[in-house]
Copies of this chain bind each other. A is one copy, B any other.
Amino acid sequence: MNTLKGIGFFFDPESIAIIGASPTSGKASHVILENLKRIGYKGSIYPVNPKYEHIDGMKCYASIADIGEQVDVAIFVLPASKVLDILKGPVENIRGVIIISSGFREVEKGKLLEEELKMIAEEKGIRIIGPNCLGIYDAIYGVDTFLVPTEHVKRPKKGGLSILTQSGSFAVLIMDEMATEGIGVARIVSYGNKVDVDEADCLDLLADDEDTRYVLLYIESVENGREFVDAASRCAAKKPVIAIKVGRGEAGMHAARSHTGAMGGKYEIYRAAFRKAGIIEVDGYEGLKDACRVLDAYDIVDGNKVLIITDGGGIGVSMADACEDFGLDVKRLSSSSKNNLSTRLPAFSAMDNPIDLTASAKDDDYFTALEEGFMNGYDLAIVTVLWGAPALTAGVVGRIYEVQTRYNKPVIICSPGGEFTRNMYRLFEEKGMPVFSTPEAAVRAAAVLTGRGTVRDNILKGAGPWI
């Protein structure tokens, strides 16, 4: 049995019916059928379509009532009005529904249909995910209702990240990126127009979900603010919750409206809600990706004193700028640390924060500098490795890793560059140290680890070099 309560049956259903099932390869309902088989879904599958007796060797049912058994989840990919016709009929044996079909609130003529859908669901006591969504991807229990072929969109391995999103295309994208980047996923829910199940239901569920180590939230709109803040607070108290709010400005809000029919509301209200709930907001798609990569490797840290080590002064300076934009504390090195380092680092090193080892850097210098910092109160480190330094060898990876594990503090690797550099990423990743290819990405990751995801916080305070 799974540990999920409430809407948990959507993630580990004992039976799934595919309404409007088709034997034709490439057809929507057939793609879903294939994806369920491929991921190794363990429950019963009931294809439903009066036109067929069998589909892919499975018995096909003329109607939902015909199944004659309790059905945990019924998946609809039929036109909107057809979905309603069926749900108005006998569906007593259905517990939950995933409506992938579009044509509801997000278009003018679908608004009434969606109202009707809502009423039917309430009357009949059926839980609904969608409409205008992709449904569920569950790597732990093996469910995949995503209407995208695996040739174009890879599925991620099992891991600690769960994703909640209004936007189906976003779900697909981030799933595909995570798969390619090797970041593991627990569950993804694409709930689209949210006629019933919404982010609050899902956050409530994920709060107690042992498989979910951190949560990613893509938000265009929230309708029930109080429920959202309650559920998010409960979840964020137990694990990091990262959010991106899209549709912030006028053009974006307008676009969101025609996307999921959402009425956005002012961005400041969302910001305040995020803060209240303890959600870490990120500024965009890049921030999201960086957050996932770093949270896959490390937990949130308590302080925000960041040590920057570099073998290229320019990148160190850029990094210090970016840290200040995010309100990170680039605390100066103590004079005793400076003394300790001055006899042990290369002659022209800059013994401060950033510590610049210069192009004379050797493998051991990274060890020395990092250990001095971690012994003296820095909470995390961003370490830049530029392979132009002639004396550096692959051994530097092990030296950095030694300090990282000894002090159990996060070390974020920043390693911009070309072909050779990119080939070296693997070495860091094998040790579980996340690598970023720009100073900005490394700093975004560091900011997330200290609970700061957006530069906006700092701008609005009027702090830093922005003003």
Contact = CB atoms under 8 A, between A and B. Distances in A.
Interface string A385-419: 01110100000000000000000000000001111
Interface string A428-467: 0000000000111100000000000000100110001111
Interface in A105-158: 106-107, 147-149, 151-154
Interface in A226-261: 244, 246-252, 254-256, 258-260
A255 B350 contact: yes
A321 B253 CA distance: 8
Given A107-B348, A153-B417, A348-B107, A173 B386 contact: yes
A29 to B, nearest CB: 13
Nearest to A313: B259
A176 interface: yes
Interface stretch (A6-14, A58-66, A161-169, A206-214): A161-169
Contact of A314 (B165, B358, B464, B465): B165
A321 B440 contact: no
Contacts of A420: 151-154, 176
Contacts of A154: 418-420
A281 interface: no
A366 to B, nearest CB: 15
Contacts of A148: 359, 388, 390
A420 to B, nearest CB: 5
A258 to B, nearest CB: 4
B255 A313 contact: yes
A34 interface: no
Interface stretch (A81-89, A296-304, A322-330, A375-383): A322-330
Contacts of A387: 152-153
B324 A386 contact: no
A252 B317 contact: yes
Of residues A252, A284, A286, which shows the largest number of chain B Cβ atoms within 10 Å of its Cβ? A252
A249 B323 CA distance: 10
A24 interface: no
A422 interface: yes
A320 B249 contact: yes
A332 B255 CA distance: 10
A424 to B, nearest CB: 10
Nearest to A360: B102
A388 B169 contact: yes
A421 interface: yes
A460 B465 CA distance: 11
Contacts of A168: 312, 314, 359
Contacts of A52: none
Contacts of A286: 286, 438, 440-441
A365 interface: no
A245 to B, nearest CB: 9
A440 B320 CA distance: 22
B466 A314 contact: no
Contacts of A353: 251, 255
Of residues A149, A166, A246, which shows the largest number of chain B Cβ atoms within 10 Å of its Cβ? A246
Contacts of A467: 460
A439 B390 contact: no
Contacts of A315: 167, 169-170, 173, 285
Contact of A386 (B172, B179, B248, B417): B172
Of residues A31, A102, A313, A459, which shows the largest number of chain B Cβ atoms within 10 Å of its Cβ? A313
Given A248-B465, A417-B173, A285 B316 contact: no
Nearest to A308: B255
B248 A321 contact: yes
Contacts of A330: 251
A354 interface: yes
21 contacts: A107-B348, A148-B359, A167-B313, A169-B312, A172-B386, A173-B388, A176-B418, A176-B420, A179-B419, A246-B318, A247-B321, A248-B321, A248-B465, A249-B324, A250-B465, A252-B320, A255-B320, A255-B350, A255-B352, A259-B316, A284-B318
